[in-house]
A and B are shown apart, each in its own frame.
Chain A
Amino acid sequence: MLNYLWGGMILVAVVYGAVTGNIKEVGNAALDSSKDAVELCITMLGVMALWTGMMKIAEVSGLTKKFLRLARPVLRFLFPEIPAESKANDYIASNMLANLLGLGWAATPFGLKAMEELQKIHMAQGGKKGVASRAMCTFLIINISSLQLIPVNIIAYRSQYGSVNPAEIVGPAMIATLASTLAAVVFVKVTGRKEKRR
């Protein structure tokens, strides 16, 4: 998908630039933008390394484990179908923690493991193959609703482009992300109730 999106952008830029007489600017932009990307990475390197370093402290000191325990009641509320002893609980909690702290790339491996466990539960409970279980739908909807508390990337991008206060958006972002997650939870609970009635 990205193949066509990316290629399409460049093709459109060249054609439209030629038509509007901006072709020189298009050429310059290509060279400048690639340089911008490297500069941005240098800025991001600092913020990212600081963050992953702090996360390692949380992991080694047992803070991460503490969070996983705290998340249990929340998981039971969202996923009543998952047995308490299932490993899916830990994977889902780890996935959520990584997302909360703005480490999306670290969240995916846990998320995929969680899906595998959910599939096992689904099969054990006599579910159909190829059809998503209720827990899978819930997990993905909550995941896509974005649980980010500290948008690390956005803060880095903002500081690169000269924001006076790059972290200014953290508070409002929490409200926005809380609202989207709340909408997701309500949706999941309402559809869950409808299903039970049937």
Chain B
Amino acid sequence: MGFLVYLSDFCIPLLLFYMISYGMATKTDSYGAFVEGAKDGFKVTFGILPTLIGLMTAVGMLRASGFLELLAGWLAPIAKVLLFPAELVPLVVVKLFSSSAATGLVLDIFKEYGPDSYLGKVTSLICSSTETVFYTMSVYFMAVGVKKTRHTLAGALIATATGVTVSTILGGLL
């Protein structure tokens, strides 16, 4: 795992170094471009704020009511068979349908167990290696009026299952 941590530490600084040096080599007004682009970041972040407030509130209430523990208790036997932490089952299921609702659950897990805990690490990895299957399919296929999606769902679910499996294993090794 030493190499992976090393890679993690170097990845972002190296990427920044590469982008800046490429900008200099091509005599780009890098700073001007950066400031211009950073403005877009504001638009994006404030754009998601309303959904974030709505969903974090809903998940926070659900956590406080004790329902999430109840749900984890119900799912525990299934999760045990799959060697998967029961606390994360709701996250995996919700992530299939909605990315923003999943974000609410992710933040709840971070708050409850900490981002550096086993659950926190597995959560981080699952979110980095899976996509919202049903949402993406409906948006993309709807755009071109496709109703028969053929083998897309099977392939998407296989990819998601692989991502979740590898995440769980790697999270345990970290």
Contacts and interface: CB of A to CB of B under 8 A. Distances in A.
Does A associate with B in a complex? yes
Contacts of B139: 108, 112
A175 B45 contact: no
B16 interface: yes
B162 A57 contact: no
A151 B133 contact: no
Contact of B152 (A57, A137, A171): A137
A144 B133 contact: yes
A7 B70 CA distance: 19
B8 A169 contact: yes
B147 interface: yes
Nearest to A19: B65
A166 B115 contact: yes
B33 interface: yes
Classify chain A's interface size.
Answer: 35 or more
B115 A132 contact: no
A168 B134 CA distance: 30
A24 B50 CA distance: 24
B174 interface: yes
Contacts of A57: 19-20, 23, 28, 30, 33-34, 37
Interface string B136-160: 1101110111111111101110111
Interface in B65-106: 65-67, 70, 94, 97-101, 103, 106
Nearest to A122: B144
Interface string B1-30: 101111111011001100110110010111
27 contacts: A1-B97, A2-B97, A9-B61, A9-B62, A13-B58, A17-B66, A36-B60, A41-B52, A50-B41, A56-B38, A60-B29, A62-B26, A104-B99, A108-B139, A136-B152, A145-B160, A158-B115, A162-B115, A167-B12, A170-B7, A172-B4, A173-B124, A173-B128, A182-B162, A183-B158, A184-B155, A187-B159
Interface of B: 1, 3-9, 11-12, 15-16, 19-20, 22-23, 26, 28-30, 33-42, 44-49, 52-67, 70, 94, 97-101, 103, 106-107, 110-111, 114-116, 120-121, 124-137, 139-141, 143-152, 154-156, 158-163, 166-167, 170-171, 173-174
Given A54-B37, A143-B140, 14 more contacts: A9-B58, A33-B53, A51-B41, A53-B36, A60-B23, A130-B146, A132-B141, A136-B141, A137-B149, A161-B120, A162-B114, A165-B8, A167-B8, A170-B11
